[in-house]
Structure 1
Amino acid sequence: MLHELKTWPKHFADVRAGIKTAELRLNDRNYQPGDVLVLREYDPEAAEYTGEVETRTVTHVLEGQAWLQPGVVMLSMSGGERDASSNRGNTPGFSGR
């Protein structure tokens, strides 16, 4: 399953740098290992997408633990190889807004 997600600039930069390898998310999409996350950088101040994109694969879904709120999951991610479609403005069908 493919999931397109808004990611704020600071978190996006950490994912791109390879230092953020997990996402804490509301499990409103029934995330599963093997799912693909298309992380689109979103500037909340400008209220628009920047056009930058990173793609990661879900390797593990942690849920139901006492320290997680109900309905929230921690998604472990792998990947990070950038391809031509992850460059600004080159994502087919994505206007960046």
Structure 2
Amino acid sequence: MARFYKKSWTHFFQAIKAGQKLHDVREDEGYQIGDVIVLQEYDNINGRYTGEEQEVEVSYIANRTVPCAFSSAVLSPGYCILSLKVLA
């Protein structure tokens, strides 16, 4: 299991933290199910990190190799859709 630290714009960060947004489209960095991503809230309006973090676990991955619905047709090469589980 790997651990990644990733920037997350405020409106996405808050929706994930609240459990409303349970997926994220990211560049495929070799994520695997069970990896933990530490999302770091980034205020894209003011151009700074807020200091808030939220851990999420990758629970499923869809990409061009492992398609989900239309992902193989619409995802650009090198990108994936991560299903996320919010960790306490």
Which bracket does the TM-score occupy, shorter chain normalised?
0.7 to 0.9
Greater strand proportion: 2
Q: Within 5 Å, give how 1:4-83 maps onto structure 2.
A: 4-27=5-28, 29-64=29-64, 65-81=72-88
- How far apart are 1:80 and its partner, in Å? 3.3
- How far apart are 1:77 and its partner, in Å? 0.7
Moved over 3 A (4+): none
Q: Distance in 2 between matches of 1:68 and 1:55?
A: 25
Q: Which has the higher contact order (CA 8 A, sep 6+)?
A: 2
Q: Which runs of 5+ in 1 are unaligned?
A: 82-97
- How far apart are 1:79 and its partner, in Å? 2.6
Q: Which runs of 5+ in 2 are unaligned?
A: 65-71
| TM-score, with length taken from structure 2 | 0.85
What's the RMSD between the two structures over aligned residues?
Answer: 1.0
| TM-score, with length taken from structure 1 | 0.78
Paired-residue identity, %:
35
